[in-house]
Amino acid sequence: MLSVAVDRCIDYEDERPEIVVFLPSMEHKAIEPCITLTPYIHSFWELKGGVDDNQWDRIFPDGCPGLIVNLGDKCVTDNGAVSMEPGKSYVVGAMTSFKESFITAHTHLVGVCLKPGVFSNFYQYAPLNELTDQTVQLEKAHAFNVDKCIQNPFYYLNSFLQDRSQKQNLPLQPIIDAIHQSNGQLSIKEIARETSSPCGNWSGILTHILVSLQKNTRILFVFNMPCLK
């Protein structure tokens, strides 16, 4: 049975709730970012393999790119195609299909779940469409500090990414937020009304959203919206 414990993070001023999920053998923590990073980041997370772990773990696509640092032993991911080396940092592009990673007792990963269309706020590494379905090692200049991650991962990630943030204007964010908050149940007309879209007609709005999302995140528009059924 899945066990969830909720605690409070006391490492920075605006305390954020921490969620700890104990799977049958592994431990997974997730915590919200500090207030200034919430427009760009869904959560920070940490995964540790359990003593009995020796299994493939499947991750399903959510349209969000991410960042990962490997604090444990070598971790095989991308269905066996990629090995994340100890102490190295990686960018994970938006996924169009599930991925599996092999989890052992010595697996220890820390990561960042970014929101769609915000990667360029932190990195000018490569167009995000080129990273779709890819796990790519970051150069040292762009990588996380392993020692600081081990000492206090969530505090460090907040500090590191606040320093890198360019505080870009995110014109798509109100649209994405409206879709997420409604669990995908808003029609295009309702999205346009709630976000005060300047587009003049509903088909134009749909095209505008699809083209913009694909340009920025290179993902399919998979939200379950009534108007798309």
Note the pLDDT of residue 99: 93
Amino acid 9: pLDDT? 39
Paired with 6 in beta bridges are 19
E-strand ranges in the chain read 3-8, 17-22, 27-31, 41-48, 54-59, 66-70, 75-77, 82-84, 89-92, 99-104, 108-114, 135-137
Tokens of 38: 């919430």
pLDDT of residue 168: 61
| Residues in the chain, total | 229
> Of the candidates 125, 62, 121, which has an alpha carbon nearest to the alpha carbon of residue 94?
62
pLDDT of res. 52: 86
pLDDT in tens, the chain (229 residues): 233 333 333 344 445 555 555 455 788 899 999 999 998 999 999 999 998 889 999 999 888 899 999 999 999 999 999 999 999 999 999 999 999 999 999 999 999 999 887 888 898 776 777 889 999 999 998 999 999 999 999 999 999 999 998 866 666 667 777 777 777 777 777 777 776 654 444 445 445 554 455 444 433 333 333 333 3
pLDDT at 172: 67
Q: Give residue 13's pLDDT.
A: 46
Architecture of domain 3-164: Sandwich (2.60)
Compute the distance between CA of residue 168 and CA of residue 150 in angstroms, rounded to an integer: 30
Nearest of 173, 182, 171, 172 to residue 223 by alpha carbon: 182
Give me the pLDDT at residue 152, please.
94
**In angstroms, what is the C-alpha Rg of the chain?**
18
Contacts 24+ apart (CB under 8 A), 77-85: 77/101, 77/102, 77/135, 78/135, 82/135, 84/109, 84/135, 84/137, 85/137
